Chain A
Amino acid sequence: MASRAAIAMLSRAQRIKSNLQSALEASLLEIEDVSHQHASHAAVRASGSDGETHFNVKIVSTKFEGKSLVNRHRMVYDALADELQSGLHALSIVAKTPQEIAKK
């Protein structure tokens, strides 16, 4: 049972990763499932899912150049529209350009 859940969680994270990779040509992509941090969340309980609901996403892409934070986040959400329809509940997004990363 535990391994099945683990495989299921991996699938969502992997799907997120591949969708973002192809849509946004990310040079850096880090996905973290933090659903367990929100396990007491009313909506998570209601949907009955064991996880795969909340993710942290860090993505670096040249496609974000010249775009406001709102627009960058919209691009990420648009790339993950299917996931959002199928139980993905929330994303914490860090969206940077390669230059911004280099500056740090």
Chain B
Amino acid sequence: MAKSLSNALLMGLTGLTAARSSRIACGSLNGIGSRYFATVPNDPDTHDDFKPKNKIENSGISLADLVEQDVKENPVMLYMKGVPEFPQCGFSSLAVRVLKHYNVPISSRNILEDAELKSAVKAYSHWPTFPQIFIKGEFIGGSDIIMNMHQSGELKEKLKDVAANSDKTA
């Protein structure tokens, strides 16, 4: 689990299958893979868990731009506590469960790992709590709202033209 969490940090985005894929595969996923890998120290004695966690900042892109990029490049973007495989909060867990129902690729970031990212996301969406769900670049809301939309059928409408989650072969 530690490895998958640190992979999540290094790769930035975790798709449902991406957590198990290699770093190279995730690099090609967003086309600017080199930024995510630029600061990995070569020190073989450094365990993943001890590597600097604010890798995102070091890559030269501002957090605000990163959030903007996240939501524009990923049809379903979830900022949550923990990761989809291991949520660390009941509301985040609920959001994951609801979204998984629709067989769409879910990209996520664990905001517990990076306090500055957490602030940047809050500022971007003007929303103080997590989880936060973005669909096709639009801020949808938190777990209450996503559950509400799921029950009313609105969520199905919103996700209808999002490509089904197929196995990434990259």
Contact = CB atoms under 8 A, between A and B. Distances in A.
Please classify how large the interface on chain B is, using the bins under 10, 10 to 19, 20 to 34, 35 or more. Answer: 10 to 19
A69 B148 contact: yes
A35 to B, nearest CB: 13
A92 B144 contact: yes
Nearest to A94: B144
B145 interface: yes
Contact of A70 (B88, B89, B140): B140
Interface stretch (B49-57, B69-77, B122-130): B122-130
B145 A70 contact: yes
Contact of A73 (B89, B90, B142, B149): B142
A77, A81, A90: most-surrounded residue (chain B CB, <10 A): A90
A42 B142 contact: no
Q: Is the contact region of chain A dominated by helix, strand, or loop, or is it mixed?
A: helix
B89 A93 contact: no
B27 interface: no
A38 interface: yes
A12 B141 CA distance: 24
Contacts of A94: 144
B141 A41 contact: no
Interface in A57-104: 69-70, 73-74, 77, 81, 84, 89-94
Interface of B: 81, 88-91, 112, 126-129, 139-142, 144-145, 148-149
